[in-house]
């Protein structure tokens, strides 16, 4: 084994496909228990590895030398074997710094709260200092190691301007979790979350809902990997490669989610879109029918709308865990806040906006089997679609203009 990633639980890591996208070497995922860490590092069976949770600090005792940056931070995420000796570095620094600068979030002179006290929080502390932050404070549940408790942060530092989440809270599969209550910070200007799976954590979604710029960790993942790849291969990675690989990874992990009224063309456009992009197409209503073993009219007749909506949420929770698909939702899927949060995790919400006069009632839609019902739904839901959508695509006739408008914006480069 030449290169890879070591950590405790790695089934959902993006690192293998990310490194291999450069075409320079093969890359493996190596899950290690704490007792296996030392023997593995002493084995001499690798040329270079990246390090993730929970070993960024634990590996240091096994290394022969550290870069000045890794030594100053006290955490290592990249190990290279040189002439039989293990050299540790921290490319997370460059990755996080690159993410912050790319997002346009400015730390200079600002009060910054860093959530967490682990290895990644130490990197965030160093980056904040390098970016000229005014006051930098770490926050943890226990308030240990010089960190504030969350209650102290809320009561004494409500004027914090930047929050950086350096904890795994909110990471897949526990995507409902949120590390902090952003509503307690009245002067918030930016949120950075190092988590990249899901693409938009609940923390980032909550920031966006308040109009606060928020950045998830996918670009940090790419940038730190490219910096590590330079050490693994001994060859620089050109700047355009960073953006190319980031875009390719984003397009593989992000879903295009079609929302809109019944009869607005979500299924028709969705199937064509999936075919053009080479992605799987998923119809949420069909998934609900398979799950229930009953048709939608039968579900409404037997369980009522409340029963259907509960089943819809369960189905969306399962569907939205995966990215890289075109997902057509039912007309009422975005009515629930819980559903909107699920869809946004790994999805870009596209509202197909068809004029009311072009919507056609059908008998298989209990809430839209007459034009009068459709009109009432349209008036009720239109502002909800508008608020939920990341982008609005008119679909007033032939599907080709709508399809091409989506492809123009979101097709891979």
Catalytic positions are: 56
> Angle at CA 110, nearest 5°, toward 90 and 196?
45
Q: Considering only CA atoms, which of 168, 118, 158 is closest in space to residue 138?
A: 118
Question: What is the rounded distance in angstroms from the CA atom of residue 62 to the CA atom of residue 265?
Answer: 59
Q: How far is CA 168 from CA 15, 133, 165, 206, 268, in A?
A: 17, 23, 8, 17, 39
Residue of 114, 106, 65, 117 lying closest to 86 (CA atoms): 65
Helices (H), 7-118: 15-20, 34-42, 68-73, 92-103
3-state secondary structure of 275: helix
Q: For 349, which DSSP code? A: E
Are 382 and 392 a contacting pair, CB within 8 Å?
no
**Is the link from the previous residue into 14 a cis peptide, with omega within 30 of 0?**
no
Return the SS3 of 333: helix
In 3D, which of 91, 87, 30 has the Cα closest to residue 60? Answer: 87
Burial of 143 (0-12, 13-18, 19+ CB in 10 A): middle
Task: For residue 358, give the DSSP letter.
Answer: G
Q: Is the peptide bond before 54 cis (omega within 30 degrees of 0)?
A: yes
């Amino acid at each position: 084994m030449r290169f890879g990633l070591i950590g405790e639980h790695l089934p959902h890591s993006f690192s293998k496909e990310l490194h291999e996208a450069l075409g320079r070497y093969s890359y493996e995922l190596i899950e290690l228990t704490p007792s296996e860490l030392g023997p593995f590092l002493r084995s001499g069976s690798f040329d270079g590895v990246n390090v993730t949770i929970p070993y960024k600090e634990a590996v240091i005792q096994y290394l022969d030398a550290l870069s000045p940056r890794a030594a100053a931070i006290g955490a290592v995420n990249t190990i290279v074997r040189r002439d039989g000796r293990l050299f540790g570095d921290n490319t997370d620094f460059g990755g996080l710094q690159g993410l912050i600068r790319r997002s346009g979030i400015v730390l200079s002179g600002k009060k910054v709260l860093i959530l967490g006290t682990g290895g990644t929080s130490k990197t965030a502390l160093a980056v904040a200092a390098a970016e000229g932050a005014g006051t930098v404070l770490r926050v943890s549940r226990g308030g240990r190691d010089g960190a504030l408790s969350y209650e102290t942060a809320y009561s004494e530092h409500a004027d914090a301007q930047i929050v950086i989440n350096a904890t795994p809270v909110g990471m897949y599969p526990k995507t409902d979790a949120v590390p902090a209550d952003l509503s307690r910070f009245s002067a918030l200007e930016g949120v950075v979350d190092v988590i990249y799976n899901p693409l938009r954590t609940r923390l980032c979604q909550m920031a966006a809902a308040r109009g606060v710029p928020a950045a998830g960790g996918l670009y940090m993942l790419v940038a730190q990997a490219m910096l590590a790849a330079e050490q693994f291969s001994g060859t620089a990675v050109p700047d355009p490669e960073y953006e190319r690989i980031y875009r390719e990874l984003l397009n593989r992990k992000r879903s295009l989610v079609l929302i809109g009224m019944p009869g607005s063309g979500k299924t028709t456009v969705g199937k064509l879109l999936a075919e053009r992009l080479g992605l799987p197409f998923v119809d949420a209503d069909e998934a609900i029918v398979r799950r229930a073993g009953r048709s939608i009219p039968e579900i409404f007749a037997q369980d009522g709308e409340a029963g259907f909506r509960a089943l819809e949420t369960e189905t969306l929770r399962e569907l939205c865990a995966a990215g890289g698909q075109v997902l057509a939702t039912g007309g009422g899927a975005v009515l629930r806040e819980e559903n909107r949060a699920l869809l946004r995790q790994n999805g870009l919400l596209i509202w197909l906006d068809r004029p009311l006069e072009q919507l056609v009632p059908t008998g298989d839609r209990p809430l839209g089997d007459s034009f009068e019902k459709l009109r009432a739904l349209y008036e009720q839901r239109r502002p909800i679609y508008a608020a939920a959508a990341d982008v609005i695509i008119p679909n007033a006739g032939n599907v080709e203009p709508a399809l091409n408008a989506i492809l123009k914006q979101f097709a891979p480069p």
